[in-house]
């Protein structure tokens, strides 16, 4: 068996095209406003600059206004928070993203918490995280089959993982899913999304015993631990679906840039056992940016609904 490749680039491009059409339709209905995303970059990390440029390019493609705010490495928490507070008040800005990681001297949590929850398009504000963890046991349940319609921002990478599964025809209800890694950025939120879709979820972490045996029970494996080629083909149940979130660089003198990118899964052995698998690069990465664009458009639409309600009253 050789796994089918889940093409994250193609799926992300489809989402971006859908968003472009949606923004165009909003404009054609007579709206004088368009979605706006502000990206704050602190320092001069080359990788962060690359990611910011990719986000600006995606904004242009989707018809989203982008606002860039660049600060030096020695910027203070107060400087960045003041910028965030101004953007919180800016009616043309519907989403605010602070590019991570911040310099070591900064209080990342304090800065991120200063973003209004409705403009937190990264889905990292405590109120948005709390909303994600609520199962609404005693209230009206949300329709988790359409993540674009959830009334609060969902973290982009976990959202992208679920979108890859949905658009690849992978059913989740009743399936066993194993998430490898328990980070706040990916592991915990993607586990919650899987649970909302009625999967039976196990989180594997550094203290888990007999990890290969646990993973081998899974119909769906999401690896997000940041360890190059950790998951081997022999860990997998034949036909399992593998979503590899990891992006790790390994020295490689045969490459022009001197390194190559690999995931958390040993791709060569895993593809011989899995039913479907994402490559690295070209799998989850493009989906993160596509879902950031979608969160921004969704934030804009929610703001339009709120403004219309205020006008009526």
Q: Is 304 a catalytic residue?
A: no
Smallest Cα–Cα separation from 155: which of 180, 179, 125? 125
Pick the catalytic residue from 122, 219, 244, 264. Answer: 122
Pick the catalytic residue from 7, 55, 219, 237. Answer: 55
Q: Is 266 a catalytic residue?
A: no
What is the C-alpha separation between 307 and 284, in angstroms, rounded? Answer: 35
* Residue carrying structure tokens 């050789």: 2
Q: Is 268 a catalytic residue?
A: no
DSSP the chain: --PEE--HHHHHHHHHHHHHHHHHHHHHTT-S---EEEEEEES--HHHHHHHHHHHHHHHHHT-EEEEEEE-TT--HHHHHHHHHHHHH-TT--EEEEPSSPPTTS-HHHHHHTS-GGGBTTS-SHHHHHHHH---TTSPPP-TT-GGGSSS---HHHHHHHHHHHHTT---TT-EEEEE---TTTHHHHHHHHHHTT-EEEEE-TT-SSHHHHHTT-SEEEE-S--TT-B-GGGSPTT-EEEE---EEEE-TTSTTSEEEE-SB-HHHHTTT-SEE--SSSSHHHHHHHHHHHHHHHHHHHHHHHHHHHHH-
What is the C-alpha separation between 258 and 248, in angstroms, rounded? Answer: 13
The catalytic residue positions are 55, 99, 122
């Amino acid at each position: 068996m050789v796994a089918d490749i889940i093409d994250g680039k193609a799926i992300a491009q489809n989402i971006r095209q859908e968003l472009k059409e949606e923004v165009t339709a909003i404009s054609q209905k007579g709206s004088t406003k368009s979605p706006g995303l502000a990206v704050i970059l602190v320092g001069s990390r080359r990788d962060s600059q690359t990611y910011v440029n990719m986000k600006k390019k995606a904004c242009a493609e989707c018809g989203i206004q982008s606002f860039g705010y660049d600060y030096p490495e020695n910027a203070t928490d107060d400087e960045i928070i003041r910028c965030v507070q101004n953007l919180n008040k800016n009616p043309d800005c519907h989403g605010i993203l602070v590019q991570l990681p911040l310099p070591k001297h900064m209080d990342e949590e304090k800065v991120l918490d200063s973003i209004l929850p409705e403009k937190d398009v990264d889905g990292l504000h405590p109120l948005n995280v709390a909303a994600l963890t609520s199962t609404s046991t005693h209230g009206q349940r949300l329709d988790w089959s359409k993540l674009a319609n959830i009334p609060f921002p969902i973290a982009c990478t976990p959202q992208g993982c679920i979108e890859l599964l949905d658009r690849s025809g992978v059913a989740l209800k009743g399936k066993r899913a194993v998430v490898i890694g328990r980070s706040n950025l990916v592991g915990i939120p993607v586990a919650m999304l899987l649970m909302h879709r009625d999967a039976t979820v196990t989180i594997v972490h550094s203290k888990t015993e007999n990890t290969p045996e646990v993973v081998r029970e899974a119909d769906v494996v999401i690896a997000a631990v940041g360890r190059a080629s950790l998951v081997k083909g022999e860990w997998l149940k034949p036909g399992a679906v593998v979503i590899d979130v990891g992006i790790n660089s390994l020295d490689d003198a045969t490459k022009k840039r001197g390194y190559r990118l690999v995931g958390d899964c040993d791709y060569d052995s895993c593809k011989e056992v899995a039913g479907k698998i994402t490559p690295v690069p070209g799998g989850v990465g493009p989906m993160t940016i596509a879902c950031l664009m979608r969160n921004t458009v969704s934030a804009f639409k929610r703001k339009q609904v709120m403004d219309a309600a205020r006008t009526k009253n």
